[in-house]
Amino acid sequence: MYRRKLPIGIQTFAKIREDDCYYIDKTGFIRQLIAQGSQYFLSRPRRFGKSLLLDTIAEVFAGNEALFRGLEIHPHWDWSVRFPVIRLSFAEGVLHRRAALDARDGPTIP
């Protein structure tokens, strides 16, 4: 009997799907969130899947269709349309100097 891996500590949707880990399909709910609302405040306890949920939503908007094959949202989304995704993270604490911000890795905007 084939058993998938448990995605312990994995916070990226792509890695869960590419590594064939267990995944509870929440993309139907994501579709509802996108269609019915405009602003949400996610107040869930630590280690409760907020980062994974946001990463999954970002992958939908980025149009990464291959990751969603076999999931609820796949036949209901226009995968030819991509939307810009801006990610802001406060996970690494407070930066007190501009130089510390400039030293961070990441894309730069011309």
* pLDDT for 108 beyond 60: no
Q: pLDDT per residue over 34-53, tens digit each?
A: 999 888 888 877 777 888 89
Q: What percent of the chain has pLDDT over 70?
A: 95
DSSP the chain: ---PBP-TT---HHHHHHTTB-----HHHHHHHHHH-S-------TTSSHHHHHHHHHHHHHT-GGGGTTSTTGGGS-TT----------TT----SHHHHHHS-S----
Instruction: Return d(Cα 30, Cα 36) in angstroms, integer.
Output: 10
State pTM to two decimals. 0.78
